[in-house]
Chain A
Amino acid sequence: MADGPTPASAEAREALKAAMARLADGDRSALEDIYRATRVKLFGICLRILGDRKEAEDALQDVYVNLWQRADRYDPTRASPISWLATFARNRAIDRLRTGKVRGGAVPVEEAAPLPDQAPLADSLLVDAEQTAQIHTCIEGLDENARGHIRAAFFDGKTYAELAETADVPLGTMKSWIRRGLQRLRACLEASE
């Protein structure tokens, strides 16, 4: 794995990796260290997807409680801790978003108050820099249409049906746009490996 952009960040990554290993060994104090190091990033993700502080805080709780219960599921050979945790938090927030929909649209995503314009904190952990550059290169290679919808799915947790409704196109058209984009994205990413 490539080093982070700054020495401070490299140090933070090593500390996080060590804390994840302690957690897997059942050391409960490791959970607090992981929380201190990652809460700002993971809460930002939950808030972005859910658009509601209360919902996002509940999702954040679930993330760390689940992490404690299933610490063994993290495989250090497959992903960096922060990359895995960020994915985990996003998935948890999306699960909550879908459950909210089942409950009849209880989550007021669209009416969410604008988020405070808070720059990422200086010590906030970033995901692998090399991978960041590559996904950007590949996504920029897509046509604007596919790129916009794939990003909306990622950042706003939109489903095919929601994207189609927003763009006012048939569901099949939206699926076709996105799948064509994903097919090209995959080819580009695989070529870089």
Chain B
Amino acid sequence: MSDENDMDRDDIKRDDPMLAAEFSLGLLEGEELLSARGKLASDPDFAWRKQWWDNWFAPWTDEISGAEPSADVWGEIEARVLAASGEEASGLDGANVVELQSKVRRWQWVSALTTAAAVAALALVVLPAGTETIPTPGATEAPQIAAADPLVAQVPIGDTGLRLDVTYMPDSERMLVGAIGLTADGVHDHELWLVPADGSALQSLGVVTPGEVRSVTLPAEITQNMGSGVELVLTREPIGGKPVDQDAGPVVAQGAFTQV
């Protein structure tokens, strides 16, 4: 339990209970935050300690004054819950169907674009001088799960010009992961993770297959966390992916889903 790998100063050991306290307070950011969230999934002792701290800190929220949200907030929540439940909200009519068709067309258009980008990325391998990076699409809005809108994400790999193209189709609960242009180094695999928007543990989306586009069907515990703005991270792991008893490897790339 008592790692000695992060003694920033002199005296204080940063063991797991300490890391859990920092996580609970919200002091962590960036890669440290992602790795702590990864640890929640793989380490029950750590998860227990995190909640131990949460429970102790929670009474502090009583010192915060309450406030009344706008009256329309509940309506928004209800609409999103209805959409997530796949039920027809009142007012769904022909106009929505037309809108949906246009979304599908837009998606096909974006798909074609990302395929073109993958080809362009391949060209960059041939010309390694190219160091231009593709900006990570930002999380532009709160995660929302609408019934049938495909989600796409591009995950640029460092400054290599390479990237993963990830497309999720809520209709079929299938996800396409394109790793065209990537090559295996024979020593590592790369594992793709979903970062649930609610702050819960990272969920594995599997090991990436270099040079191929793969299609997988996702289980419900993962699809319920899918939404626009939801982040993905790619970690470097031993061959075969993250070993069960170990923490995830370093984060080498990240991106976020955007609804089209």
A contact residues vs B (CB 8 Å cutoff): 28, 31-32, 35, 39-41, 43-45, 47-48, 53, 56-58, 60-62, 64-66, 68-70, 73, 78-79, 83-84, 86-88, 90-92, 94-95, 98-99, 101-103, 115-121, 124, 126-128, 131-132, 134-136, 150-151, 153-155, 157-161, 171-173, 175-176, 178-180, 182-183, 185-186, 189
Number of A-B contacts (CB under 8 A): 192
Kindly identify which residue among A60, A124, A179 contacts B18, using a CB–CB cutoff of 8 Å: A179
Q: How many Å lie between the Cα of A78 and that of B257 in the bound state?
A: 33
Residues of B within 8 Å of A101, CB to CB, are 29
Contact, CB under 8 Å: A173 / B9:
yes
Residues of A within 8 Å of B9, CB to CB, are 172-173, 175-176
Q: A31-B81, A87-B54 are in contact. Are A69 and B66 (CB under 8 A)?
A: no
Query: Using a Cβ–Cβ cut-off of 8 Å, how many residues does chain B contribute to the interface with A?
Result: 55
- CB-nearest residue of chain A to B138: A103
Contact, CB under 8 Å: B27 / A32:
no
B199 contacts the other chain (Cβ, under 8 Å)?
yes
Residues of B within 8 Å of A31, CB to CB, are 77, 81
Residues of A within 8 Å of B143, CB to CB, are 62
Name the interface residues of B99-140: CB closer than 8 Å to any CB of A: 138-139
- CB-nearest residue of chain B to A153: B25
Q: Which 3 A-B pairs have the closest CB atoms?
A: A132-B59, A40-B66, A176-B9
Between A and B, 5 residue pairs with Cβ closer than 8 Å are A45-B64, A61-B80, A99-B139, A102-B139, A176-B11
B contact residues vs A (CB 8 Å cutoff): 8-12, 14, 17-18, 21-22, 25-29, 33, 51, 54-70, 73-74, 76-78, 80-81, 84-85, 138-139, 142-143, 145, 197-200, 224-225, 229
Q: How many Å lie between the Cα of A88 and that of B78 in the bound state?
A: 19
Residues of A within 8 Å of B64, CB to CB, are 41, 44-45, 48, 155
Q: How many Å lie between the Cα of A84 and that of B143 in the bound state?
A: 21
Residues of B within 8 Å of A134, CB to CB, are 56
Contact, CB under 8 Å: A95 / B60:
no
Contact, CB under 8 Å: B8 / A60:
no
Q: How many Å lie between the Cα of A173 and that of B197 in the bound state?
A: 32
Contact, CB under 8 Å: B57 / A68:
no
